[in-house]
Structure 1
Amino acid sequence: MEAASKSLADLEVPVPRLEQQQAIAVVLADREQRIVSLRAALRAEEEGRDVLAEALVTGVVRVDGR
């Protein structure tokens, strides 16, 4: 196997042009911000669910609407 006999320093690794790297970084940053936003929304929903469950269990809120 010829590749196995080469040192790591001798390997050529293709790298996208700087413009492509910058565009990729922008997309990744946007996606990361979306993930952060969705996680915050999920936490808020879970907290609301927990509050409602507690109110139902303690009788503060009744299923029949009273």
Structure 2
Amino acid sequence: MGIQTGMKMYNSQLSPFAARCRIAIYAKDLDVELIDLPDPAHEAEFTRLAPMQKIPLLV
């Protein structure tokens, strides 16, 4: 079990920038909820948090 952070990271499996963040998350054993985009269930929330829709986004 990792360190409890309560954070969410919006990312894409194809993004090299998000991949670097995931590597750091796994290396530090952090408990971060990873949300893969595009996902219609999370699209409205992501657009509200990041109007320019750039990933990765850590909340």
Does TM-score exceed 0.5, indicating one fold? no
Structure whose CA Rg is larger: 1
- Of Structure 1 and Structure 2, the greater helix share is in 1
State TM-score, norm by structure 2: 0.27
State TM-score, norm by structure 1: 0.25
